[in-house]
Structure 1
Amino acid sequence: MFTTETEIAVRYAETDKMGVVYHANYLIWCEVARTDFIEKAGFSYADMEKEGIISPVLNINLNYRCSVTYPEKVRVRSWIESYSKIRTVYGYKIVKEDGSIAADGTSTHVLIKKGSDRPLRLDRCFPDWHAKYLELNQQ
């Protein structure tokens, strides 16, 4: 399975008074890792958006396992959990420096034309991207 790792240095601003990372920041880390995954696969959200197409989140699920504190570093592992022409589910695992799992989960995405709510097929909009995702999903 094609998996990427993105290092995140915990910023002080991401923590509460106890120095523990606020839970919503994990979602941002997943977005950073997903963008990195897409770039390492050879594509970019920016190019997609130039075509007037966006990829909203339909669902996100995170399971919090243990706290992350300032000034730790974490690695966010990302991969394709499942893929179809309409929907992509990305998997995430947030791993602390000691190897423990801080959180894991998935996010589900579709493509839509900006200003529309109707899903588009990746194979029709971006055939190269579709072919690469089929390949990566089978690894």
Structure 2
Amino acid sequence: MIQHTCEIQVRYAETDQMQFAHHSNYIIWFEHGRIQLLKNLGISYKDLEDGGYLMPVLEVHSRFIKYAVFDEILQLKTIMRDFPTAKQKFEYEIYNQKQELICTGCSLHSFINKGKKAIKPPKELREKLKPFFK
């Protein structure tokens, strides 16, 4: 298993009329968490795409427990429990400043090439992840 935690600050534009972070932003934050997890391993999402590896979202789920508000600093934990195969699942946990769990989620991705054909995960990714899944 591998996990990475990063901070998210709720911006004013991300809030709705009720002054809560709008639910659509959580999916954007999940994406940020995935990219940061890979970056922390020395894997650039952009370099993967430039190398012909794409990771489209097949499914995304979220469960909202509490709300986030403008200017709040959140902790976003991104988790990979399984070694990547043809598909890769990421799990997410978001905590508020009181360390309360406010949202959980997951996303499922496949690996495809630029021709939209299913492929194995890139060797570079598999090699960097191996030590975490022994």
Q: TM-score range by the shorter chain?
A: over 0.9
Gaps of 5+ in 1: none
The correspondence for 2:130, drawn from 127, 130, 134, is 134
Q: Secondary structure at the match of 1:83?
A: coil
Q: Which amino acid aligns with 2:46?
A: A
Q: Which amino acid aligns with 1:44?
A: S
Distance 1:62 1:18 in 2: 20
Question: Shift in Å at residue 30 of structure 1?
Answer: 0.6
Q: Which amino acid aligns with 2:120?
A: R
1:88: which partner in 2?
88
Q: Percent identity?
A: 28
Question: Shift in Å at residue 129 of structure 1?
Answer: 1.1
Gaps of 5+ in 2: none
Distance 2:130 2:118 in 1: 19
1:99: which partner in 2?
99
CA contact (8 A) 2:2 2:81 kept: no
**What are the within-5 Å matches in structure 2 for residues 17-28 of structure 1?**
17-28=17-28
2:111: which partner in 1?
111
TM-score (structure 2 length as normaliser) = 0.92
TM-score (structure 1 length as normaliser) = 0.89
C-alpha RMSD of the superposition: 1.4
Q: Which amino acid aligns with 1:4?
A: H
2:75: which partner in 1?
75
Number of aligned residues:
134
Question: Shift in Å at residue 40 of structure 1?
Answer: 0.5
Question: Shift in Å at residue 81 of structure 1?
Answer: 2.7
CA contact (8 A) 2:80 2:90 kept: yes
Please list the CA deviations of residues 24-80 of structure 1 after superposition, one character each: whole Å capped at 9, or x if unmatched. Answer: 100000100110000001101111111222110111111111111112110100110
Q: Secondary structure at the match of 2:6?
A: strand
CA contact (8 A) 2:56 2:109 kept: yes
Distance 2:60 2:81 in 1: 13
